[in-house]
Structure 1
Amino acid sequence: MNNLTEQFNNPQATQQFQGGALAMASASREMEEVKGQIFMAKQFPRNIFAAEQRILDTCKRPALAAVAMYRYPKGGTNVTGPSIRLAEAIAQNWGNLSYGIQELEQRNGESVAKAFCWDLETNVRQEKVFTVKHAIGLKGGKLKQLTDPRDVYEKVANDGARRLRACILGVIPGDVIDKAVQQCTDTLAGNSQGPLKDRVAKMLEGFKNHYRVTQEMVEEKFGYSANSFTEFDYVELVNIANSLKDGMSKVEDWFNKEDAKKADGGLGAEFKKEVKDDAAANANVPANEG
């Protein structure tokens, strides 16, 4: 009895007791939530055909199709695959999935986190535990330590996105993923936002403004003039842009910087001239009078 009284009179012991009680209560609550999710999944199982149709309908949205794929060079070849945005869209429409990223602990300037995806119907689960250093790389190989909690959170979220994508794609059937990718490609190729030459010109202008990649550098990579670009070439340009935007690759991985020295400032001029000529022809005005 005296030992018990001494234990509760000790602030450190009391704090440890309260911490243990809170941990047990939290674990119990999480367990009940999981049971509830499993119960609802069993009560309302997914209609596979309806879920697949929802996924394909979502992939018909041009905004999603534009960010659905990533590309980056590796070992002399191009690696391509579904992006985290497409994986999330598929998971949302597949239904009865529990997925996300959890930070397990922070210690010595690093975080231990977990990405997971769990099919509540079939009990198929993918899980990846990884460590994230609280630092970002700078030019010259230097590292900048992160101390702001928001910066740390964003670093963990960014590093966890690739693991989360892998977990989702490991749970969803492969044929569903393939159909979604094909539908996104078809949507992007059949995008009716404007003529192909206008969309290519806009893409080339974006490469120059954001990445200092000229039309000549793009043509050098593809091996032929931008006038000869097809819908498939346009899709590849979009995939490269997504890769650069997401930080999956660098400009040097795709384009030869030496070509920039020989490039002039007439990016897309030929495209713009063709658009002007078309407009003049439609107005029955000779192009040289415009």
Structure 2
Amino acid sequence: MTKHEMQHVTDDGEFVAGLPAAYGEATQSLAVSLARAEVDQQIATARAMPRSVKRAVDNILSLATLDERSAEECVYALPRGGKPIKGPSIRLAEIIAGQWGNCRVGARVVHVDRLEKYVEAEGIFHDLETNVATTSRVRRRISDKHGRLLNDDMIVVTGNAACAIAKRNAILGAVPKAVWRRSYDAVESVVAGDVKTLAERRDNAMKAFATFGVTPEQIFEALGIAGMEEITLEHMPTLMGMHSALKSGEATVEEMFPKKPAPGKAPAKSLQEFGSPATDTGKTEAPENEKPKNTTSKNAGPAASEAGPAHTSSAEGGTGDISNEEAEALAEIAAQKREAGMQAFAEWFAGLSAAQRAALPSEDPDEAE
């Protein structure tokens, strides 16, 4: 027995090395008891000193409109289908929670799924006066536009953004809207400004978006306008809300300004579409005026079926062209299948077309066979 080894005395009076058998359970029970006592004390204090609704409403309004920059951070906007979706941001939600008082707020990442490529966060708001708790869960994808998994640092950043959104939703879902509606309207008025400062504010907004790599043309398209001169006072809250969402991480540039495919070019397929073998064995039908000489079998996979008449091939033995993007995606799927086991890889490989097999690294066919 070493000099510093822990000992305890048994019921028989013997000295035994190590901790008692029930030490872990006792420690866990103590932690639970301390947490319960802490919450009980907070509830008792909240009920002894209840909040003043009027004071909370006035304080929220005062802080949200303290200056122009604070007001800009209190609103977010996301363009959706040519019509922006606006609302209070996480910054305004934090002001609301702080001035509403007698509450506990928190957020945490509860799940990171590297297979399905998403991170899930949970936000909680506990009103200590009414003893009512509200939770909110938010998922964010952790893959890039090509379907590849983000690195660890970016997964952490995405998790933090998901926590901010979940926290905001929990707060706004628990605090009555009547408490913060007037403050939100006042924030929009401050952000809109007046006609005298409109030109300067438009230029400043374009410079702010430029730091995220966003061009004026992308902004015009998102707002549904033709140029800078069409940005009015009504557009300014939306414009600054979009910038606030990018700045706080509530939205990404790819989500806010999705790139449209070039005219005549099919949109890029997802990683799942590249790696999912077709199950039917029949042949696809094309219109008479577009039907190629050799129609493509369905089990040639989506990559071959969308290659067009000039590159179509039969599943039995063609060598149609595969784009670099498709080849990279197929290689990544192949690596995942190998990790799952050779049987899973062989079943997946059997459903590929000859063109898709040829696009894989040279060792893949041998391993599959």
TM-score under structure 1 normalisation?
Answer: 0.70
Counterpart mapping for 1:74-223 below 5 A:
74=80, 77-102=83-108, 114-128=122-136, 136-144=142-150, 146=152, 154-190=157-193, 195-214=197-216, 216-220=217-221, 221-223=223-225
Cross-structure match for 2:332: none
Q: Distance in 2 between matches of 1:144 and 1:251?
A: 14
| 1:98 alignment partner, SS class | strand
| 1:45 alignment partner, SS class | coil
Larger mean CA deviation between 178-187 and 240-249 belongs to 240-249
Cross-structure match for 1:234: 236
Q: 1:45 aligns with which of 43, 50, 55?
A: 50
Q: Distance in 1 between matches of 2:120 and 2:218?
A: 41
Higher-RCO chain (CA-CA 8 Å, sequence separation at least 6): 1
- 8 Å contact kept, 1:46–1:95: yes
Q: 1:49: Cα distance to partner? A: 0.5
Q: 1:76: Cα distance to partner? A: 5.8
- 8 Å contact kept, 1:42–1:121: yes
Give the counterpart letter for 2:88 in structure 1. P
Q: Distance in 1 between matches of 2:83 and 2:193?
A: 27
Cross-structure match for 1:58: 63
- 8 Å contact kept, 2:109–2:119: yes
Q: Distance in 2 between matches of 1:222 and 1:113?
A: 33
Q: 1:195: Cα distance to partner? A: 2.2
Q: 1:99: Cα distance to partner? A: 0.8
- 8 Å contact kept, 1:217–1:257: no
CA distances 1:205-248 after superposition (whole Å, capped 9, x unpaired): 3333432413x454454425423432222222112222333252
Q: Distance in 2 between matches of 1:66 and 1:89?
A: 14
Higher helix share: 1
User: How many pairs align?
Assistant: 249
| 2:133 alignment partner, SS class | strand
CA distances 1:125-158 after superposition (whole Å, capped 9, x unpaired): 10246788xx942342111353x7xx77655433
Q: 1:58: Cα distance to partner? A: 0.9
Change (3 A) 1:128 1:201: closer
- 8 Å contact kept, 2:124–2:170: yes
Q: Distance in 2 between matches of 1:251 and 1:239?
A: 16
Counterpart mapping for 1:63-74 below 5 A:
63-74=69-80
- 8 Å contact kept, 2:165–2:250: no
The root-mean-square deviation of aligned C-alpha atoms, in Å, is: 3.9
Of all paired residues, the percent bearing the same amino acid is 26
Change (3 A) 1:39 1:196: same
Counterpart mapping for 1:4-15 below 5 A:
14=19
Change (3 A) 1:162 1:111: closer
Q: Distance in 2 between matches of 1:30 and 1:37?
A: 11
Cross-structure match for 1:271: none
Change (3 A) 1:44 1:19: same
Larger mean CA deviation between 88-97 and 114-123 belongs to 114-123
- The structure that has the greater radius of gyration is 2
Q: 1:187: Cα distance to partner? A: 2.0
